[in-house]
Amino acid sequence: MQTEEKQGIIMVVIAYVFWGFMPIYWKLLDHVSSDEILSGRVIWSFIFTLLLVIVGRNFKQLMMDLKELWGNQKDFWSLVIASYLITGNWFTYIYAVNAGYIVQTSLGYYINPLLSVVLGIVFFKEKLSKAQQLAVVIAAAGVLILTISYGEIPWIAFTLAITFALYGLIKKSLKINASRGLTIETFFVLPVALIYFGYLVATDKAMFFSSDLSTVILLILTGVATAVPLIFFAKGTKTMPLYMSGFIQYIAPTIMLLVGIFMYDEQFSKIEFLSFSFIWCALILFTISKIVEVRKNR
Q: How far is CA 116 from CA 113, 131, 269, 278, in A?
A: 5, 17, 28, 18
- pLDDT reported for residue 105: 93
Confidence check: pLDDT of 287 > 60: yes
From 109, 88, 96, select the one nearest 193 (Cα to Cα): 88
What's the pLDDT at 241?
65
pLDDT of residue 47: 94
What pLDDT is recorded for position 231? 82
- The reported pLDDT for the residue numbered 83 is 93
Contact call for residues 200 and 39 (beta carbons, < 8 A): yes
| Cα 100 to Cα 47: distance, rounded to the nearest angstrom | 30
pLDDT digit string, tens, across residues 112-150: 877 877 787 777 777 778 888 888 889 888 888 888 887
Mean pLDDT of the 30-42 span: 94
Question: How confident is the model over 48-101, as pLDDT tens digits?
Answer: 999 999 998 889 999 999 999 999 899 899 999 999 999 999 999 999 999 999
Burial 95-125 (b: 16+ CB within 10 A, else e): bbbbeebbbbbbbbbbbbbbbbbebbeeeee
Q: What is the mean pLDDT of residues 247-266?
A: 89
* Least confident piece of the model among 78-87, 94-103, 239-248, 265-274: 239-248
Q: How far apart are CA 251 and CA 21, in angstroms?
A: 10
Which has more pLDDT, 223 or 291? 223
pLDDT at 226 over 70: yes
> pLDDT tens digit string along 175-212?
777 778 889 999 999 999 999 999 999 999 999 988 89
Residue 243: the pLDDT is: 57
